[in-house]
Every structure is written in structure tokens, then in C-alpha cells.
């Protein structure tokens, strides 16, 4: 079996059989000629149902997560929507984490709930809390690790066992770690979710999402819903994600190395009251992260002395760290979760501290990043 870096470059990427092009072509096409009614040449009939460029990406994604089946969507939330409407019907119950991507919380609380699906919140970093949240009608447990924006760590193997004992499936949003740093299916998860917009794409130039599973029956239901609902990844977007994936391993190594230097610098800074990075031995999830991750990733959050105004001021003073939402690109980003990415969680169990700043540490020269942050902190 080839190693991750090799798989990332080769899975689903055989040279084009017609021309020999070493990169899969962008099949920017909606429909395919049939040789007689129903006579499909390559199995393709219409690009919502399947498109060769998307297939190349889907095979690649499945291999990255060491899963059997990958499905590519128009966004991370489109993937989540397809998954939730496949796993849950009215009367079912879902457990979501107390720290999660704000859009996941909004989708569950504002959209899925209206269809008669119950949900409750648990601190998934505590396996006992997950066990206590299970109900007879619980069909799925949703986990994000590391979580957004508090960088909490959930023990995937422990929670998988608890979910399965309770007759529920375990979903892991693996966006923050990427499959290079963490492979949830191997730890017992049933489905992996990605916003490919982030580290998989890696260059802040595409919005996309993915699901990967090894459960063949579930994969078939998901593929049916993917086509029935239609929020698929387009050919060009699929191609951009594939291009990003080829450098995922080298990018994640550099993201992790830079983030760990940034976390150390912030820990020593007098105006920083708390640094949230799973690579720090003081982080409550450090041991679990070290056990289930190859490295600790590029996301760092911290709390600033002086409350919300001080945190907002830091976000507005950096020059290299660009103020903006999103994460996982080669360039460093800074944001204020309370007013930006997690504004929709205000007043809920997922509300984030007002003095919190979140960094997506890029792959620039780390000395320049450290200087920029020191100057912004003053
Ligand atoms: C961005 C993000 C999503 C949603 O993905 P989109 O591509 O923006 O729809 C889901 N989960 C996490 C952890 C994210 O960071």
C-alpha cells in the first residue's frame, strides 16, 4: 500500500487514456452522447448524476480517508445537508458538539429541526457526556475535532464505541485536521465530512464539500440523495480541489510547524490570557490529539486581555494576517469568531468568548508571522 503523500498525488489521477495528459481534464460538460438509447460509453449520462472530473476527485477523496466511497458537493454545508437528510427522519435525535462550526449549528437548529428532528448539545470531549446525551431515538452523534473555534479535542475511538453501543452512527467533521493529520474512519467513525474549501483546496480559491464512508449501504443512500438533491461539485471546482490535494502533506507539515511556533510565542505574551492549541502540553486534549493525530494542525485561537474591544482591535491591526473568515489557505488569516464566523451561535450553548481571536496560520516565513502578531498585540 502506498503512503499518504503518494496516494494524494495518484489516487483517481491516472493519465488521461485518450491524450496521455498527466492531469485529469476538466470535463466542463452537462450531458454525454449515447450510442443508441441508454447506450452509455463511460457510464456517464448527465453531470449532476456523475461527471468524470468529479469522479476523479471522489476516488481521490475516498483514498485520502482510507474509505471505500467519496462524494463531492458544492460546499461543506451542502455535504452536511445531504448527510443529515440521509441519516435522519422525523422523530430521530441527533447529538451535536458544544463547539462546532457555526454553520453546522445553524443548519441543525434552523433548518433540520423544522423537519421534526430533535437535537441536543453535548461536550464531546467528555465521552461520559456523550453517553448521557444518547436517547433511544438517537441516530447520529456529530463530532468536530479539533473543534472550531475553541480547538477542543474529542477521542474519536472512545466516542465511536459509545455511539455504536447506543445504536447511533458517528460523524466526524475532519475539516480542521485534514486526512493527512487524522483519519477518523480508521478510528471507528462511520462518515467523514469535509469542507474542501479549507485545507484540501488549500488556496482560498474554491468552495466545496465532501463525504467519505466505508459503509457501502450508506454510500449508496448518500449517492442517491446527492443526485436527488443536486448540490454537486462542478467540474472546475472538482479540479481545483484535486490540484490542492496534491500538496496537502507538505502544506500541513508547514502549517503545523508555523502554528506551533505561533502558539509558543502567544503563550509567552503578557497580553494573551489563554492560548488554545492542541500541540501545547497544557491543552486538556493534548494527549488524545497526540494519540489520534500525526501533528496538531494550523489553527490557533487565543484570548486577549481587555475583552471584546481588545480582541477586535488585534484583528484590525495585523498586516500580514488578513482579516477574514474561512481558513486552511496558504495565506494567514485572523478573525473575531464572536462577531464573524460564530455570530449565529450568539445566545446559544455554542456561544464563544467575546475576547477570542482565531488564527489560520499560513505557510509564510514564520518569523514574519511572529513579528506581525507581536506588533498587533502591542
Ligand atoms: C467551513 C466549514 C464548514 C462548512 O463548509 P463550507 O464549504 O463553507 O460550506 C464545515 N465545517 C467546518 C469545520 C468548517 O470550517
pLDDT tens profile 131-155? 999 999 999 999 999 999 999 999 9
Q: Which of 220, 145, 182 is nearest to 64 (CA)?
A: 182
Q: Point out the ligand 1 atom lying closest to the alpha carbon of residue 197.
A: 7
Domain range list for the chain? 4-245, 248-377
pLDDT of 306 reads 95
Q: Which of 203, 182, 150 is nearest to 333 (CA)?
A: 203
Three-state SS for 144? strand
Euclidean distance between CA atoms 169 and 334, whole angstroms: 34
Cell of 163: 455511539
Q: Which residues of the chain have pLDDT under 50?
A: none
Q: What DSSP line would sit under 97-117, residue for residue?
A: ESS--HHHHHIIIIIGGGGT-
For domain 248-377, the question of CATH label 3.90.1150.10 is answered with yes
> Which alpha helices (H) appear in the chain, and where do they start and end?
4-10, 52-64, 76-87, 102-106, 127-133, 156-165, 178-181, 216-229, 235-245, 248-267, 286-292, 307-317, 366-377
Are 142 and 122 spatial neighbours (Cβ–Cβ below 8 Å)? no
The pocket around ligand 1, CB under 6 angstroms, is made up of 75-77, 101, 103-104, 144, 148, 173, 175-176, 195, 197-198, 207, 209
pLDDT digits (tens, 9 = 90+) for 257-267: 999 999 999 99
Residue with cell 442517491: 224
pLDDT of 1 reads 72
Ligand 1 atom 2: residue of nearest CA? 195
Are 258 and 98 spatial neighbours (Cβ–Cβ below 8 Å)? no
pLDDT of 307 reads 95
The active-site residue, picked from 81, 99, 155, 173, is: 173
Euclidean distance between CA atoms 80 and 358, whole angstroms: 23
pLDDT of 17 reads 87
Q: Is 198 a catalytic residue?
A: yes
Ligand 1 pocket test, candidate residues 79, 195, 206, 326, most atoms within 8 A of CB: 195
CATH of span 4-245: 3.40.640.10
pLDDT of 180 reads 98
pLDDT of 38 reads 82
At 45, which helix (H) or strand (E)? none
pLDDT of 349 reads 80
- How many angstroms separate the first and last alpha carbons of the chain? 51
The set of residues, in sequence order, having a beta carbon less than 8 Å from that of 40 and lying 6+ positions away, is 32, 34
Euclidean distance between CA atoms 334 and 340, whole angstroms: 11
The active-site residue, picked from 44, 99, 101, 190, is: 101
Ligand 1 atom 6: residue of nearest CA? 76
Ligand 1 atom 7: residue of nearest CA? 76
| pTM given for the model | 0.96
Amino acid at each position: 500500500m502506498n503512503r499518504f503523500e503518494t496516494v494524494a498525488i495518484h489516487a483517481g489521477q491516472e493519465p488521461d487514456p485518450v491524450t496521455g495528459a498527466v492531469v485529469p481534464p476538466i470535463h466542463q460538460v452537462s450531458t454525454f452522447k449515447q450510442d443508441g438509447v441508454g447506450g452509455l460509453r463511460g457510464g456517464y449520462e448527465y453531470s449532476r448524476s456523475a461527471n468524470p472530473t468529479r469522479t476523479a476527485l471522489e476516488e481521490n477523496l475516498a483514498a485520502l480517508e482510507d474509505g471505500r466511497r467519496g462524494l463531492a458537493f458544492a460546499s461543506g454545508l451542502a455535504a452536511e445537508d445531504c448527510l443529515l437528510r440521509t441519516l435522519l427522519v422525523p422523530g430521530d435525535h441527533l447529538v451535536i458538539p458544544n463547539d462546532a462550526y457555526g454553520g453546522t449549528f445553524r443548519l441543525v437548529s434552523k433548518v433540520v429541526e423544522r423537519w421534526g428532528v430533535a437535537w441536543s448539545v453535548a461536550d464531546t470531549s467528555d465521552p461520559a457526556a456523550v453517553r448521557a446525551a444518547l436517547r433511544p431515538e438517537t441516530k447520529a452523534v456529530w463530532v468536530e475535532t479539533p473543534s472550531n473555534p475553541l480547538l477542543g479535542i474529542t477521542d474519536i475511538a472512545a466516542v465511536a464505541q459509545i455511539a455504536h453501543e447506543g445504536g447511533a452512527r458517528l460523524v466526524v467533521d475532519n475539516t480542521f485536521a485534514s486526512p493527512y493529520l487524522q483519519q477518523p474512519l480508521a478510528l471507528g467513525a462511520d462518515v467523514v465530512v469535509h469542507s474542501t474549501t479549507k485545507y484540501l483546496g488549500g488556496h482560498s480559491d474554491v468552495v466545496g464539500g465532501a463525504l467519505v464512508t466505508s459503509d457501502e449501504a450508506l454510500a449508496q443512500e448518500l449517492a442517491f440523495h446527492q443526485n436527488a438533491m443536486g448540490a454537486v461539485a462542478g467540474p472546475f471546482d472538482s479540479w481545483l480541489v484535486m490540484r490542492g490535494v496534491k500538496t496537502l502533506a507538505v502544506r500541513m507539515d508547514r502549517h503545523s510547524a508555523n502554528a506551533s511556533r505561533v502558539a509558543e510565542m502567544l503563550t509567552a505574551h503578557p497580553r494573551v490570557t489563554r492560548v488554545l492549541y492542541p500541540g501545547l502540553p497544557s491543552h486538556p486534549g493534548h494527549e488524545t490529539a497526540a494519540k489520534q493525530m500525526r501533528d496538531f494542525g494550523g489553527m490557533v485561537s487565543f484570548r486577549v486581555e481587555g475583552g471584546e474591544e481588545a480582541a477586535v482591535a488585534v484583528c484590525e491591526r495585523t498586516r500580514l494576517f488578513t482579516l477574514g473568515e474561512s481558513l486552511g489557505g496558504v495565506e494567514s488569516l485572523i478573525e473575531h469568531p464572536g462577531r464573524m464566523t460564530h455570530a449565529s451561535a450568539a445566545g446559544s450553548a455554542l456561544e464563544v468568548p467575546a475576547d477570542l481571536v482565531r488564527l489560520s496560520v499560513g505557510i509564510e516565513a514564520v518569523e514574519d508571522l511572529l513579528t506581525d502578531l507581536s506588533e498587533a498585540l502591542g
